[in-house]
Amino acid sequence: MSFTNAPVTRTLVVGFVGASIAASLLDIKHYFYISIGTHILQYHQLWRVLAYQLCYLNSSEVLFGAMALYNMRTIEQRWGSRKYASFILVTALFTSIVPPLILTAFLRPLSFGVLDFLPAGPTPIIFAILAQYHAMIPHMYKYKVALATGPPTGQDSAALTFSDKSTKYMMAGQLAMSQFPGSLLGAVVGWLVGYAWRNEALPGVLTRWRVPGWVVGMRGQKTNAEFENMRRRLESEGASTGTASGIQQQQAGPTEGNNRRRTMGQQLIDEVRGAF
C-alpha cells in the first residue's frame, strides 16, 4: 500500500493537496472558482479556465480527492508513468475548456442565469481516470447488504449488492455531488472525455502523443537500440564460449570425458576401492 511505480499519482496527490493548503493559507481561494457572468462575460478572466482544476477549496473535497487518486494508482502501474502522464495532460486540456464552454453557451442561457457557477477542483480529471478504472480493473468479490433486520428468507430477499470497487465509486460520487450542479457537470464531462480517450474517439494525434521520457524520470534508461546491441553482443560471446568448450572436450581424453560424466557417488566409490 504505497506509491510504488506510481510517481505521477504521487505528484498529483502532493501537488493538489499542497495547492489547496496554500490557497487557504494565502487567502486566494477566490481565484480558483468560475462565475460565468462575472469572471468570463464581464471581466474576461479567461485564465481561470486553466486554474480552476488546480486545487479544492474545502477539506472534505481534498480528503476524498486524494483518496480517489490513491486508490486508482493501479492505472498508472498498468499503463506506465509516461502513458499515464500523457493521458492526464490531454484530459486536463479538454476538461479545462469543455465545462466552462457548455456552461456559457448552453446551460446558463437555458436556465436564465441560474446555472452560473463552476467549482474549483480536479473532479473532471478524477472522473476521467475513473472511466479507465471502471473499464480496466475487474472486481475481486461481491457482497450484499440486507435491507431488513430479520433473518434472510431466501435468495430473493431485499438486499443491495456491492463489490470491492464500490467504495471507490462512492468517494468519486461524493465529489460529483459536493457542489451540485457545477461539480456534477465537471464529473460528467470528465467521464465522457476519459471514455472517448479510451475508445480512440478523440483526435489520433492526441491519443498517440506521449510526454518526453525525462518528464517521468526516464532520462537514464537505455533505448531499444542499445538493448538490441547488448543482446547481440551477449549472443556472440555465448556462441564463442560454446565453441571453445566443444574444442576442449574433443581434445580431452576418453578417460577424462568419462570422469566428467560420472556422478559424485561413483567417484566416491572408486576412491574407496583405490584405498584398499
How far apart (Å, rounded) are the C-alpha atoms in residues 155 and 267? 71
Query: What pLDDT was estimated at residue 143?
Result: 86
- The architecture that CATH gives domain 7-144+162-216 is Up-down Bundle (1.20)
User: Mean pLDDT over residues 74-101, rounded?
Assistant: 94
Tell whether the model's pLDDT for residue 247 goes beyond 60: no
Choose the weakest-confidence range: 57-66, 131-140, 211-220, 239-248: 239-248
At 39, the pLDDT band (50, 70, 90 cuts) reads very high
Percent of the chain past pLDDT 90, that is, above it, reads: 63
Query: What pLDDT was estimated at residue 235?
Result: 72
Instruction: Decide: residue 187, CB within 10 A, 0-12 exposed, 13-18 middle, 19+ buried.
Output: buried
Choose the weakest-confidence range: 95-99, 132-136, 221-225, 236-240: 221-225
Tens digits of per-residue pLDDT, 19-30? Answer: 999 999 999 999
Residues 6+ apart with CB under 8 A from 271: none
User: Mean pLDDT over residues 112-128, rounded?
Assistant: 94
Query: What pLDDT was estimated at residue 276?
Result: 54
At 241, the pLDDT band (50, 70, 90 cuts) reads low
Query: What pLDDT was estimated at residue 124?
Result: 96
One-letter identity of residue 151: P
**Spatial CA neighbour of 134 closest among 199, 81, 88:** 199
Mean pLDDT of the chain: 85
Is 176 in contact with 184 (CB distance < 8 Å)? yes
Tell whether the model's pLDDT for residue 228 goes beyond 70: no
Angstrom distances, CA of residue 231 to CA of 19, 100, 237, 244:
46, 53, 10, 20
At 190, the pLDDT band (50, 70, 90 cuts) reads very high
How far apart (Å, rounded) are the C-alpha atoms in residues 237 and 235? 5
How far apart (Å, rounded) are the C-alpha atoms in residues 175 and 65? 7
Coil, strand or helix: which one is 148? coil
At 262, the pLDDT band (50, 70, 90 cuts) reads low
Higher pLDDT, 149 or 226: 149
Query: What pLDDT was estimated at residue 37?
Result: 92
